[in-house]
Chains A and B, each alone.
Chain A
């Protein structure tokens, strides 16, 4: 038996009794079933098509204990806020090692909006199952999803169901519009631990909000954060979902995010992968009813020996839905990027308009990119396109800048930054959020510090 399986079986034996809602037969049954799937399959391996380019061997060799609810070193508010992209956010929810930290959180959300800890809900209402459908996840296997069918979540994601104690829980009732961004900080405070936050975001009809989810480490050691997140948008809801991941260079981050978008609802997703020794993002979006729209922007910036993997699936399940995807990668030093984007157009999803683009810049001899933009089309009246490029900086742009007096190095840094900043195109370039994200980019791009001066 694999080391990881033995390890997490042990963790289950240690923790199952203390999980929120433990003792309730439905919850207990789901958790046992989840563990059973993990025991059956172990960690995903590189023989699986979806994990072809990303090995979890280090996780298999050295699985880390699941973090306890009370971090031995609870970080101070100032330490957490110092890392926040919006230090002044009025709605700030903080999770430490996967557990809600009320003392670091605050919000002024209107009555009727539920925003906080999933654990509370599981403990308060153990009469129901988990707040999202888990059947597919439990029934899934290591076999690749057939053409035309989105994946259901890996055997790693299933661990959150078995062992996950907490996560972000958001419910915005119909018609409620939240203007100020809701900042959700996931802090890994304890080295040598596994965090398993499980989050659920639900917007009822016509609700609108912006959620900024930030994942980072406050230690320099190894850790694993494995996130499961489910997003449900009712008709005409509108969610901006921004995820920023900047863990330390020894940490691992794995996320399995699934969103269902109902009629005329809109999901605007932005994922910035800027840190971690290994980070894998699975993002699956189902455009479930007509008129649904999703746009997905992504940026991965791998340096050192970072390995950043993005798997996206946009499933056009109904007619007249639209999607646009733009993922871009900058691979420097011995960084490695993986992009796998699937667009599935179901049989009756006529008048689909789906676009996908993946652009990559390789900046070093040792960098590597593996990309696979897929189209799987079962309808005939569709407009779908995808593209992928791998290349260098545009000589025309470089010349333009040099003809304005910028030296080669400065011109290169500026064009590299421009390449990255395109991922932020939906964010107001004069907003504090844009400035904060720009600062994160500058700190990680070649010649970025020189550019920082220009923005002052």
Chain B
């Protein structure tokens, strides 16, 4: 084995650090899915009739659908009857009123994950909504945000406190019937985060949701809805972990973003669900639909993702550019190691005039990992002067890995400019030798090269997340952030 290879193996073979389990008294419904289960979930959350009907319609539609087969991922058929669709820590009936009421075991769990829920001890300037299995267990800094008119709370709370807003926007970006997993999510989603930034308000701190799957055999189906009204600005972070288990667990989330005129939403994800073991046993199936809509002129939605976890990742954070001069961005680093599979990318749908989009995708395949970039850039006839620039690069770190690129480009507008570039390469012995001949250790040399490869994406992450991202890639990021 070459030196490069052994160094790489060391770097990419780090164990999963978040694989512990929290023992809690849980409220769990039996596995299986039926109209009754949908009704139970809705009843547990004390939901209004319209939402139950919405769920039931979604469920009935889901029954007519089949799972997508076009992605370059392989897994045995999922038995949806074996999944538990609702699991929540037992606590006061209406959930904790304040952090003092949150189960101390839970607080410990989040401390262990590095996500402080005590506001006093908090990372400066980040408000966190913590979602544990099916429910939101705590949301920090709510009051402070409320002072400037920002609503940031769990989805369940929003259904009760702000029903009109929820009803207006829910499913308006990602229709229930968009795909198999959105229909499923719409039927059984249990919680998630809701955020509304009123006109002209620039959110004074980073907002964040931390998703944790804990319970066994449960599916996590959360729903996030973020609305930035005219001129509003918000930066949103999302993190995820799960315990190590031998069974695969399904995570089918839906995230909807709405940016009105001149609004900006920046959505960053560091996804570190349990990837399964080296032989591919266990791990999360991360089948997520994320989409944003720039509804007003000069609106901007930016997705940044660092995807290192999950046995299978299937997600395409997208932007529908309706407003004139609106901007969509997608920056992605995805790492697949051992037997991980990722089919990820984005869709940029240009409808408004002079809309612009940028796609930067960096895929790193190691071990037997397989990875596909799948993207769509569509320029409608109406999108005069639209521009897209796409760059997707793959770095190959193992001789049994795979890297695929499937970009779809559809253009119906002669005043549009679309550029797509892609490359695939490996770290060469020459590069390593060059670095070492300048005094770097092989580990540092690989780190440096991998970091250089991901730099364009890391610089889009908020500082705190960039640090986490570096850690996740198992490399030090000296000098390439900020």
Contacts and interface: CB of A to CB of B under 8 A. Distances in A.
A369 B411 contact: yes
A385 B420 CA distance: 11
B205 interface: no
A383 B425 CA distance: 5
Interface stretch (A67-75, A232-240, A374-382, A415-423): A374-382
A387 B415 contact: no
Interface in B139-155: none
Interface in A63-114: none
Contact of A368 (B400, B411, B426): B411
Interface stretch (A36-44, A183-191, A219-227, A358-366): A358-366
A372 interface: yes
Interface in A345-395: 347, 360, 362-365, 367-392
B413 A362 contact: yes
A385 B422 contact: yes
A388 to B, nearest CB: 4
Contacts of A363: 414
A378 to B, nearest CB: 5
Interface stretch (B254-262, B283-291, B390-398): B390-398
Contacts of B70: 49
Interface string A151-186: 000000000000000000000000000000000000
B405 interface: yes
Nearest to B401: A380
Contacts of A3: none
B407 A372 contact: yes
Nearest to B421: A387
B424 A362 contact: no
A389 B422 contact: no
B454 to A, nearest CB: 18
Nearest to B417: A391
A147 interface: yes
B112 interface: no
B415 A392 contact: yes
Given A362-B411, A368-B412, A374 B418 contact: no
A49 B381 CA distance: 23
A295 B415 CA distance: 31
A377 B407 contact: no
Contact of A378 (B372, B379, B402, B408): B402
B54 interface: no
B411 A374 contact: no
B160 interface: no
A368 B410 CA distance: 8
Contacts of B420: 373, 386-389
Contact of A362 (B405, B406, B408, B414): B414
Interface residues of B, number: 37
Interface string A135-148: 00000000000011
Contacts of B412: 367-368
> Which size bracket describes the interface of A in this complex?
35 or more
Given A379-B399, A380-B399, A388-B409, A147 B404 contact: yes
A386 B402 CA distance: 17
Interface string A196-228: 000000000000000000000000000000000
B72 interface: yes
B408 A372 contact: yes
B419 A387 contact: yes
Interface string B185-225: 00000000000000000000000000000000000000000
A385 B411 CA distance: 22
Interface string B33-71: 000000000000000000000000000000000000010
Contact of B424 (A368, A382, A387): A382
B422 A386 contact: yes
Contacts of A388: 407, 409, 418-420
B107 to A, nearest CB: 45
Nearest to A344: B404
A72 B402 CA distance: 55
A49 B408 CA distance: 12
Nearest to A336: B412
Most central of B398, B401, B405 by chain A CB within 10 Å:
B405
Contacts of A347: 400
A17 to B, nearest CB: 43
A365 B412 CA distance: 7
Given A362-B414, A391-B416, A382 B396 contact: yes
A103 to B, nearest CB: 47
B168 interface: no
Contacts of B406: 372, 374
B426 A380 contact: yes
Contacts of B413: 362, 365
Contacts of B72: 147
Nearest to A382: B424
A384 B416 contact: no
B227 interface: no
B335 to A, nearest CB: 15
B403 interface: yes
Nearest to B427: A380
B387 to A, nearest CB: 9
Contact of A387 (B379, B403, B422): B422
Given A363-B414, A375-B404, A381 B426 contact: yes
B233 to A, nearest CB: 32
B79 interface: no
A362 B426 CA distance: 36
B405 to A, nearest CB: 4
Given A380-B398, A390-B416, A391-B417, A370 B422 contact: no
B416 A370 contact: no
A168 to B, nearest CB: 35
Given A383-B425, A384-B424, A373 B407 contact: yes
Contacts of B417: 389-392
A377 B414 contact: no
A246 B281 CA distance: 56
Nearest to A390: B418
A94 B247 CA distance: 65
Given A362-B411, A371-B409, A377-B402, A382 B418 contact: no
Contacts of B425: 382-384
The 4 closest A-B pairs by CB, nearest first: A362-B414, A380-B396, A390-B418, A375-B405
Given A377-B403, A385-B421, A391-B416, 16 more contacts: A148-B402, A362-B413, A364-B414, A365-B381, A365-B413, A373-B407, A373-B420, A375-B394, A377-B394, A377-B402, A380-B398, A380-B401, A384-B424, A387-B421, A390-B416, A391-B417
7 contacts: A372-B407, A373-B422, A374-B406, A376-B402, A382-B396, A383-B425, A387-B419
